[in-house]
């Protein structure tokens, strides 16, 4: 049975002009391009976020966006070729959750993604994943020619 191998997080302390900044890598894992593994991976990832104090809305947004990004990487990037892994890094840094999902595909021009809210696209059953990610996250960048999506969510501090 195929599975992903969980990786235990590590804490990183970085120096900056304003003192020491703490960053924590929570997940650094690769999973095979198999859609049936996505729910198990997402559950494991969300479970590892449990130590962070986040509201239910933030957890929902992170879970939704991670799911969409991993499924897109498997379907569109790796073309569901199980031998091609999807790499996921989740870390906290400067009161932000940063999630990066990288596939092994050819990449794509993210500026050519059709707007799912236009009249010609509103009734289509697919094509809303990136739109949902951009709506739920505070920052989204496509890197490596479209092979990596970097998603950033501000974490509210309890002060």
Decide: residue 55, CB within 10 A, 0-12 exposed, 13-18 middle, 19+ buried. Answer: exposed
**Closest of 87, 84, 70, 65 to residue 35, by C-alpha:** 70
What is the domain range of residue 77? 10-154
pLDDT of residue 52: 79
In a domain, 159, yes or no: no
pTM score, whole prediction: 0.84
**% of the chain with per-residue pLDDT over 90:** 59
Q: Average pLDDT of 100-119?
A: 92
In a domain, 2, yes or no: no
For position 51, which CATH number holds?
Answer: 3.30.565.10
In a domain, 1, yes or no: no
Q: Each residue of 11-61: pLDDT tens digit?
A: 444 444 444 446 688 899 999 999 999 999 999 998 888 777 788 899 999
pLDDT of residue 53: 77
pLDDT confidence bin for 107, thresholds 50/70/90 = very high
Alpha-carbon distances, residue 37 vs 4, 19, 86, 117 (angstroms): 8, 41, 11, 30
In a domain, 28, yes or no: yes
Instruction: Give the number of domains in the chain.
Output: 1
In a domain, 5, yes or no: no
């Amino acid at each position: 049975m195929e599975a992903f191998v969980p990786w235990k997080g590590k804490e990183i302390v970085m120096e900056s002009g304003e003192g020491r900044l703490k960053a924590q890598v929570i997940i650094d894992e690769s999973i095979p391009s198999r859609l049936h593994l996505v729910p198990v991976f997402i559950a494991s990832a969300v479970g590892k976020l449990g130590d962070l104090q986040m509201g239910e809305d933030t957890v929902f947004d992170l879970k939704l966006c991670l799911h969409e990004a991993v499924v897109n990487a498997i379907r569109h990037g790796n073309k569901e070729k199980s031998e091609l892994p999807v790499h996921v890094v989740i870390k906290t840094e400067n009161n932000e959750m940063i999630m990066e999902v990288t596939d092994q595909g050819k990449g794509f021009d993210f500026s050519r993604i059709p707007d799912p809210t236009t009249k010609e696209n509103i009734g289509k059953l697919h094509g809303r994943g990136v739109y949902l990610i951009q709506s739920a996250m505070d920052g989204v960048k496509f890197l490596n020619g479209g092979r990596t999506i970097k998603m950033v969510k501000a974490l509210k501090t309890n002060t």
